Amino acid sequence: MGAIAVVRVSGTGSIELADKIFRSPLGNKLADAKPNTVHFGRIEWKGTLLDEVLVTLFHAPRSFTGEESVEIACHGSVYIQQKLMELLMARGARMALAGEFTRRAFRNGKFDLSQAEAVADLIASTSSASHRVAMNQMRGGFAKKLVDLRDKLLQFVSLIELELDFSEEDVEFANRDKLHELTVEIEQEIDTLAGSFQLGNAIKSGIPVAIIGETNVGKSTLLNLLLQEEKAIVSDIHGTTRDVIEDTMNIGGITFRFIDTAGIRHTTDAIETMGIERTYRKIEQASIVLWVIDVTSSKEQIETLAASIISKLADKEVILLFNKSDLISESDRQEMINILPEVKGERLFISAKTRRDTDKLQELLVQAAAIPSIGEEDVIVTNLRHYESLTKALEAIRRVKEGLDIGLTHDFLSQDIRECMFYLGEITGQISTDEILGNIFSKFCIGK
């Protein structure tokens, strides 16, 4: 609960409705006031003062939704908010559906569908990177790029389809060489956008970091330390963690998704074996692997475990963490640092129990994440729906390019060009269905 709450009413007659419950000190009517102005007054409930409020007026189309709107800023008491909404509904208003304000803004052309989805991403952003990406998309850079691509294709498909009307004369209105140049350009653009999804998804959902190692080496203690809460059970008993435990933490402006996995060892326990199999799957999904090694273990024991892990670490950023380093001498440390030379990556001696050098671990995590700086003009795809549509558009434009190479007839070329246009338009909402819109906006909160 905050100090101030804002209740928004949108739609024709919103100002007239607000006039029914609002009392100005000077007796003025909101309907007579200028648009985009703020007014102080009282809201009364059954003859008694409910609250003193500020009411902001918006006339269509200059509002978030593009409709006539009123925003009532009251005190943040849940009781005041509830009674205020009861008053409004008693006079003809209704509760908004999830995402309805943003859906109306989309319907009224205030922004396209990709920008509307960016509103939800902005609300859900948990790091400076995810905030920046959402802001860039909400400003329309992504949408403009897609609209430009679609418009270029539209010009060509119009000329190609014109050829269908003159098929008997065997004329060409669309220059095939220029069309080939265009398909190469668009293929590169779409491929770049689709290729940014891996980075975008990591920024939005958190960079997956798998914490792996044998049983009882301190993985759960490390997870709790990184998350700054007791998320996992810590015990001296081997095999305590039998399932995957996940949670996110913001470090250095980057969201990391830490995954505590079951300890890897030979076991006949069926449940523990399932947990170890999941550990291997999580290693495959991770971008960064924290391999925790108990420095009191024998060299042979560590190398035996390595035989089952190293092959799964290809293309991963690996950080070897030598835990319980407070229990060994400096000479033992020097010997341990040279173990597993085939594993490329940073090496760090820590003590998860005493928090030794865990600040250095955070620095290494930010370094391993390698999130590039994102400028105002950079377009990063973070939405799975967008990625799937881009992938289908890429397949279609490649068919156009192949069709030009083999001299495919204009009717088949036209079909593939239009398919590419369809998937690009699906992202921005130029092509949409109520089912798609319902699925997108159902994920929004009620007030947005």
Q: Does the residue 101 lie in any domain?
A: no
User: 174 and 225: one domain?
Assistant: no
pLDDT at 237 over 70: no
Q: Is residue 136 one of the residues assigned to a domain?
A: yes
pTM exceeds 0.85: no
pLDDT at position 241 is 44
Q: Is 238's pLDDT higher than 50? A: no
Averaged pLDDT, 425-439: 73
- The total domain count for the chain is 3
Extended beta strands in 2-68, E state: 4-10, 22-23, 38-45, 48-58
HSE-CB of 289 using CA atoms within 13 angstroms: 27
Q: Residue 374 falls within a domain, yes or no?
A: no
Q: What pLDDT shows up at residue 162?
A: 65
Say yes or no to pLDDT of 111 above 60: yes
- Rounded distance, CA 354 to CA 356, Å? 5
Helices H, strands E: what count in the chain?
16, 11
Bond before 35 cis per omega within 30 degrees: no
In a domain, 30, yes or no: yes
- Long-range contacts, stretch 258-261, CB < 8 angstroms, 24+ apart: 258/209, 258/211, 258/223, 258/226, 258/227, 259/208, 259/209, 259/210, 259/211, 259/286, 260/211, 260/219, 260/220, 260/223, 260/231, 260/232, 261/210, 261/211, 261/212, 261/219
Could you read off the pLDDT of 1-56 as tens digits, one per residue?
A: 678 999 999 999 999 999 999 999 988 899 999 999 999 999 987 778 999 999 99
Q: CA 327, CA 301: separation in Å to the nearest integer?
A: 18
Q: Note whether 360 and 218 are same-domain residues.
A: yes
Name the token pair of 95.
Answer: 């509760």
Task: Count other C-beta atoms under 10 Å from residue 318's C-beta.
Answer: 20
Residue 435 is predicted with a pLDDT of 62
105 in any annotated domain: no
- pLDDT (0 to 100) of residue 71: 95
Instruction: List the CATH number of the domain containing 219.
Output: 3.40.50.300
Most confident of 32-41, 175-184, 374-383: 32-41
Q: Which residues contact 298 (CB under 8 A, 6 or more apart)?
A: none
**Burial grade of 304 (CB within 10 A; 0-12, 13-18, 19 or more):** middle
pLDDT tens track for 279-333? 777 788 888 988 888 888 777 777 777 777 787 888 888 888 888 888 877 777 8
Max mean pLDDT among 106-115, 145-154, 266-275, 383-392 falls in 383-392
Question: Partners of 247 in the beta sheet?
Answer: 258
Residues 187 and 275 in one domain: no
In the sheet where 22-23 sits, what is the strand order? 4-10, 69-75, 48-58, 38-45, 22-23
How much is the pLDDT for 351?
84
Amino acid 208 reads P
If asked whether residues 77 and 54 sit together in one domain, one would say: yes
Out of 34-38, 151-155, 299-303, 350-354, least confident range: 299-303
Q: What percent of the chain has pLDDT over 70?
A: 85
Are residues 242 and 356 located together in one domain of the fold?
Answer: yes
Could you give the CA distance from residue 70 to residue 58 in angstroms, rounded to a whole number? Answer: 6
160, part of any domain: yes
User: Do 336 and 310 meet the contact criterion of CB atoms below 8 Å apart?
Assistant: no
Q: How far apart are the first and last CA of the chain?
A: 17
> Is 278 in the same domain as 337?
yes
Higher-scoring residue by pLDDT: 239, 108: 108
For 64-86, what is each residue's pLDDT tens digit?
Answer: 999 999 999 999 999 999 999 99
**Residue 423 lies inside a defined structural domain of this protein:** yes
Q: Pick the last residue of a domain from 369, 401, 422.
A: 369
Q: How are beta strands 317-323 and 254-260 bridged, if at all?
A: unpaired
- Spatial CB neighbours of 35, under 8 Å, sequence gap ≥ 6: 57, 58, 59, 62
Question: 68 near 60, Cβ under 8 Å?
Answer: yes
Between CA 406 and CA 445 the distance in angstroms is 51
Residues 254 and 336 reside in one and the same domain: yes
Sheet holding 288-294, edge to edge: 245-251, 254-260, 207-213, 288-294, 317-323, 346-349
Tell me, yes or no, whether 318 and 413 share the same domain. Answer: no
CATH number at residue 56: 3.30.1360.120
Give the residue from 384, 393, 373 showing the smallest Cα distance to 145.
Answer: 393
Cβ atoms of 261 and 284 within 8 Å: the answer is: no
Looking at the fold, whether 300 and 220 belong to one and the same domain comes out as yes
Looking at the structure, do residues 63 and 150 belong to the same domain, yes or no?
no
- Which of these, 93, 88, 107, 82, lies nearest to 11 by C-alpha position? 93
Those residues with Cβ within 8 angstroms of residue 100's Cβ, 6 or more apart along the chain or in another chain: 441
What is the structure's pLDDT at 61? 92
Question: Do the strands 207-213 and 254-260 form a parallel or antiparallel pair, or are they unpaired?
Answer: parallel
Whichever domain contains 166, its CATH number is 1.20.120.430
As a whole number, the mean pLDDT across the chain is 81
What pLDDT is recorded for position 307? 77
Mean per-residue pLDDT, 129-152: 82
Query: Average pLDDT in the 397-411 region?
Result: 83
Expressed as residue numbers, the domain containing 402 is: 118-196+379-441
Give the pLDDT confidence score for residue 239 in this predicted structure.
Answer: 43
Instruction: Please enumerate in sequence order all residues whose Cβ is within 8 A of that of 46, keeping only pairs 6 or more positions apart, or say none.
Output: none
Domain-embedded: residue 44? yes
Does residue 165 carry a pLDDT above 70? no
Pick the last residue of a domain from 95, 128, 147.
95
Measured between alpha carbons, how far is 368 from 318 in angstroms, rounded to an integer?
A: 8
Give residue 391's pLDDT band: very low, low, confident or very high (50, 70, 90): very high
Q: What is the mean pLDDT of residues 413-432?
A: 84
Angle at 256 between CA 255 and CA 262, to 5 degrees: 160
Q: Is the confidence at residue 240, as pLDDT, over 50?
A: no
Tell whether 223 and 251 lie within a shared domain: yes
Which residues are bridge partners to 265 per DSSP?
none
Least confident of 81-90, 197-206, 228-237, 411-420: 228-237
Q: Which two tokens stand for residue 192?
A: 């770049």
Tell me which of 316, 337, 369 is where a domain ends. Answer: 369
Q: Are residues 215 and 182 in the same domain?
A: no
Lowest mean pLDDT among 300-309, 412-421, 435-444: 435-444
What is the mean pLDDT of the segment spanning 204-231?
Answer: 80
